[in-house]
Amino acid sequence: MGANRGVRAAGLLWTGGGLVLLAAAMVLGAGAGAASITSTDIVHELLARLGVAGVDPPLSERQRAVLLQLRLPRVVLGAVVGGLLAVAGASYQGVFRNPLADPYLLGAAGGAGLGATLLIVYGGGLASPLPLVPMAAFAGALAGVMGAYLLGRTAGGGGTASLLLAGVAVSSFLAAVQTLVQQAEIDDLQRVYSWLLGGLGRGGWEDLRLVAPYAVVSTLVLLVCAYLLDLLALGDDKAVSLGLNPAAVRLVVISAASLATAAAVAVSGLIGFVGIVVPHVVRRLVGPAYRRILPVSLLFGGAFLVAVDILARTLVAPAELPIGVVTAFIGAPFFVLVLRATRGRVA
């Protein structure tokens, strides 16, 4: 009993730590850029806009415009996208009982990217079909994950290794189709290519309003299902004996995680490895229970992507690196370490 209380206390502690880390990352992200704005001024400006008594807005009109119209939408979008990718990755790992599951390895991101690309290219331009992009991305993400899952079960028996290989195969196929679309529509190549590399610089408040319903619904569903993922971890037979329908839980979690991935991809492009780096770090901190892993991953994922975006903006300033390139440099070596650590359990 005391041990359980200690674990719960640690989970609450890391949740609080995640909130502090996310807030700090967002303040630093809002201050990073050519126009210098200190963290103190940002906090005072926001408090003044919230109507806190005794706090005067310290920024000039130009600084205020930069903060409210350019930087704040970017850091909020980074927090949302990072949180969605991290919680989706953790959910995929739980539902497939696979420590290497990730939106990109399972074909979700590739499918979402293809669905969104088809709409961008054939939907009359990015601006006009923008509200439809998440729906197209969701359809593609769900198709990618289900394709990888069915291929892994039918061709390889459903084991962890076969699922990973199926995900790689499906992702490669989707990438080939996407390349074919790009080559067929060469006029849209630059626009689609820059979108595929991933980035937050194009985002604004309109993008946040666009994905907010998808983000809220998918996140709430996954957080509610966290306890069910803990039951699934006991094995299907045990879960059934406790009154759970494993197939129904998997369908709901896969759909919600695919919707979260699609919402992220629709507004940021393809940003890899967040869904595998963050949940593994969080699992080391809070233990194996998904009712703690999912909420902490949501917070840490947002903080992680905002921090990576700061690097992308500052490493080669005044130029800017695609954020997907930075996450790949961080995530690829991390994936190798995770693969080595789990190779005895991958079969």
Please name the amino acid found at residue 160: T
* Cβ burial 232-263 (10 Å sphere, 16+ → b, else e): beeeeeebeeeebebeebbebbbbbbbbbbbb
Q: 292 or 133: which carries more pLDDT confidence?
A: 292
C-alpha–C-alpha distance, residues 32 and 27, integer Å:
9
CA–CA separation, 205 and 72 (whole Å):
9
Give the pair of three-digit tokens for residue 89. 């990755």
For the chain, first and last CA: distance in Å?
Answer: 35
Residues 138, 290: Cα–Cα separation, whole Å? 24
Mean pLDDT of all residues in 30-38 = 82
Span 189-214, average pLDDT: 74
Enter the DSSP assignment of 126.
Answer: S
Average pLDDT over residues 27-45: 86
Alpha helices in the chain (DSSP H): 2-31, 39-49, 61-66, 72-95, 108-122, 133-156, 160-184, 189-196, 205-224, 226-232, 236-241, 246-268, 274-286, 290-314, 323-342
pLDDT band at 163 (very low <50, low <70, confident <90, very high): confident
Tens digit of pLDDT for each residue in 230-285?
Answer: 998 888 888 889 889 988 998 899 889 988 988 888 788 778 889 999 999 999 89
Q: Give the C-alpha distances (Å, rounded to integers) separating 46 from 54, 59, 71, 107, 134.
A: 13, 10, 13, 40, 30
Q: What are phi and psi of 256, to 5 degrees?
A: -65, -40
Q: Which two structure tokens, joined as six digits, stand for 69?
A: 């119209």
Q: In residues, how long is the chain?
A: 347
- For residue 185, the 8-state DSSP code is T
Omega cis (within 30) before 246: no
Rounded Cα distance between 57 and 44, Å, is: 6
Average pLDDT value for residue range 203-218: 86
- φ and ψ at residue 75, rounded to 5 degrees: -70, -35
Q: pLDDT tens-digit profile of 54-113? A: 788 888 888 888 888 888 999 999 999 999 999 999 999 998 887 778 887 788 888 888
Q: Are 57 and 44 in contact (CB under 8 A)?
A: yes
d(CA 147, CA 170): 7
pLDDT value of residue 293: 95
Delineate the domains of the chain, giving CATH numbers in brackets. Answer: 2-342 (1.10.3470.10)
The amino acid occupying position 185 is E
Per-residue pLDDT at 303 exceeds 50: yes
Q: CB atoms < 10 A from the CB of 51, how many?
A: 7
- Closest by Cα among 53, 23, 19, 57 to 41: 57
Report phi then psi at 272, rounded to 5: -90, 165
Q: Whole-model pTM?
A: 0.86
